[in-house]
Chain A
């Protein structure tokens, strides 16, 4: 039997049309496997099943919980948008919302800046380059909880190593209350997030940098372009699609961050460092108010949806231009 190639429509792979079956249904399983359309569905089935079980079902269940008065052990009743209204009037929720945006915005800028800088450095030739590349990934490889526990010690109110060093250097006369001050606690969490996130940016951007033809840089250098000009006129535009994808993933992950805050401050002091995820956890899982917790966590969804749509649109636009 000859198999026709898959015909691409105007929309590319997303709208690819598969040839109709020429196999008689009577031929059973063998025939089913030979029919490209059926085979395609069959091959997609495991992925679809996993996505349904682990993404779609929990999401839909979360949506349902958010409109009920469910508590632990009690499915509750339908309450409409009451949980969202409650969250809207909740001062801790407001604080968590502001924190989440500030946390995501600030850390993304720093992670991108440091990640780019590191990627540019790692893209150069130097001794022990491979070792340096592997080493740089360490913060990303170590389980977050473990590395955050180490940071907890570094920021410890009584035994902080950072404070000790600053004190030994004569830079401070009093302990810095890293996790006990409402603003410093948020700054401390952001420092840990940047430390942990930079390797992801660096390695991803490095991969992008290596796809840029060095001849472009050389030609520009011969034409007298300064390193700064070469970066902004060649490297940055060519790296932009990769950068956008990296930022997209990072924003989603940072927006929904949980572990750092949970380990370092548990949302304290006095709820000053709660993010959407930690506050939803405290309400839903800690206090057992599942409906309210689901409503708080779903507050993330419209924001992330807009971010994702915008970034995907932007990536597609830059690819087609």
Chain B
């Protein structure tokens, strides 16, 4: 027998050299880094659209945000003497998404403040990746909007094509409020096409619904996001604004206008679906998406701010643990008469 082994030239494993772990002993090969890279690939259409419409401004903001985010995370892990985590690309993803949420005219220090806020205060102070309750990019956008309203509302025209009246589509609603005619004019098919392709003012990444949709479909194809969230969010916004538009045509434009304008598309596909800050149960994801939709509509139609997506996402993030608890799925084989499970949960028996 041993001659056969020598023929094969490899000895049987030596004691002490084998790996010991619990089962399972194989994995499917995916990793956090690979997921982040796929998300970046799905962001490329939106990035390309932003550069197409806003030229150098877009490149400038993207580079600043990405760099500041990466340096902020690296600096933090260095200062707190932890293993460097920038290698998992999550800081880069946050940087890109934050950049896509900023108006084209922002100075460099807005990018810096936003990035540092997103990475250090919203993410690292809570414990790093996986522990943050709030979406870093959304929370940073909210903080910047509230703290630096001036620079954050300077809108520039896109480099190509014509502008609709009013600096951004949502700003245009405020301008046209009260007049059913003006609102209807906003919702005209020409304008909707502009909205769809991105030929409008707004943050550099949120204008082109088409680019975001391509990226969003990519996310769903790669099975990176919980599809219930964008579905629930878009359907809710559509239905809610549809009802309001039919009831009060002078108040708000038609639902297609709402879905294609502002941060709804990018919020639905790239921000609300952030894994760490969204519910983990399928039903919870639906409720979460619907909640964001309702809040967005309320803020847009009756609130002081023209845009409500970032606020809604942050509010809904705070409710995620509660949503998960309420939408919990029963284990396989749980019967209404099986005493053990439910009674333990209720504390009726130990």
Do these two chains interact?
no
Binding site for B on A (CB under 8 A): none
Binding site for A on B (CB under 8 A): none
